[in-house]
């Protein structure tokens, strides 16, 4: 038996939490204030979906019409803020490599589900016969938030530099489109997200990187 759609809702929430945390961590490292941390965290979590919605002309973007994810991201960032400020993470021994591994796994789950959700929304919006557009919208949903986070915090987007991050998203988007030819929505989402998670975990474990030109 495949998981029910509500399981995906829960997984998407997990992805939102992971993305919001990663944005908040970048803001903390750049010594931004409370509001900067909130903005970067929330942007990382919902920015990809916002880019997708603007590109297909669904305005105002979904993050305003159904702000569930926006609210989840907001509270996630606040918990992160408190945790770091109160130094609770030391009490929980959630530090260094353990913490990195947990975050990396959640982030991979988020990337996979956001990518599949993005492709799915593009199909729902009636662009199903334009595979290139659907795949692109899936990828931008997955990586757009991270790109906005990096632009706002003044660094070259990580997705352009490291660890086949966008590549995993591209693989997920394309495989979702392929699976949809033969399987239903649930199965496609499960399989394509699994592919993304697997690529990301392997890329981290074996330190895969794309070649540069020199």
What residues make contact with a second copy under the rule CB under 8 A? 27-28, 30-37, 39-40, 54-57, 59-61, 64-65, 67, 70, 80-81, 84-85, 127, 130, 132-133, 136, 147, 151-157, 159-162, 164, 166-167, 209-214
Residue 122: closest CA among 145, 108, 150, 141: 141
Pick from 203, 198, 193, 157: nearest CA to 23:
157
Cβ-based nearer residue to a second copy, 11 or 143? 143
Supply 198's token pair.
Answer: 């697997």
Nearest to 76 by CA among 43, 53, 113: 43
28 versus 183: smaller Cβ distance to a second copy? 28
- Closest contact distance (angstroms) between CB of 21 and a second copy is 12
Specify the residue, 9 or 162, whose C-beta has the smaller distance to a second copy: 162
Residue 130 CB, shortest distance to a second copy, in Å, is 6
Give min distance, CB of 1 to a second copy, in A.
36
- Go through 22-37 and write b for each residue having 16 or more CB atoms within 10 A of its CB, e for each that does not: bbbbbbbeeebeeebb
Work out how close the CB of 88 gets to a second copy at its nearest, in angstroms, rounded to a whole number.
12
Name the residue nearer to a second copy (CB basis): 101 or 130. 130
Q: How far apart are CA 116 and CA 108, in angstroms?
A: 12
- Spatial contact of 154 and 142, defined as CB atoms under 8 Å apart: no
* Closer Cβ to a second copy, 27 or 189, answer by number: 27
- The tally of CA atoms less than 13 A away on the side-chain side of residue 129 is 1
Q: How far is the CB of 3 from a second copy (least distance, A)?
A: 31
What sign does the CA torsion over 21, 26, 27, 31 have? positive
Nearer to a second copy, 36 or 183 (CB): 36
Minimum separation from the CB atom of position 48 to a second copy (A): 15
């Amino acid at each position: 038996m495949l998981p029910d759609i509500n399981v995906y809702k829960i997984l998407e929430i997990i992805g939102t939490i992971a993305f919001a945390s990663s944005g908040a961590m970048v803001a903390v490292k750049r010594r931004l204030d409370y509001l900067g941390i909130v903005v970067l965290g929330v942007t990382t979590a919902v920015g990809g979906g916002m880019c997708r919605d603007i590109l297909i002309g669904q305005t105002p973007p979904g993050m305003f019409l159904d702000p569930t994810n926006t609210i989840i991201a907001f509270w996630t960032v606040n918990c992160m803020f408190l945790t770091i400020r109160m130094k609770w993470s030391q009490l929980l021994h959630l530090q260094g490599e353990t913490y990195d591994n947990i975050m990396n796994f959640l982030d991979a789950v988020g990337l996979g589900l956001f990518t599949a959700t993005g492709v799915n929304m593009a199909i729902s919006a009636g662009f199903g016969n334009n595979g290139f557009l659907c795949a692109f919208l899936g990828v931008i949903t997955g990586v757009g938030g991270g790109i906005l986070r990096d632009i706002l915090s003044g660094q070259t987007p990580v997705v352009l530099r490291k660890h086949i991050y966008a590549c995993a998203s591209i693989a997920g988007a394309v495989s979702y489109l392929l699976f949809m030819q033969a399987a239903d929505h649930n199965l496609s989402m499960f399989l394509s997200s699994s592919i993304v998670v697997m690529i990301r975990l392997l890329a981290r474990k074996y330190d895969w990187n794309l070649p540069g030109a020199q």
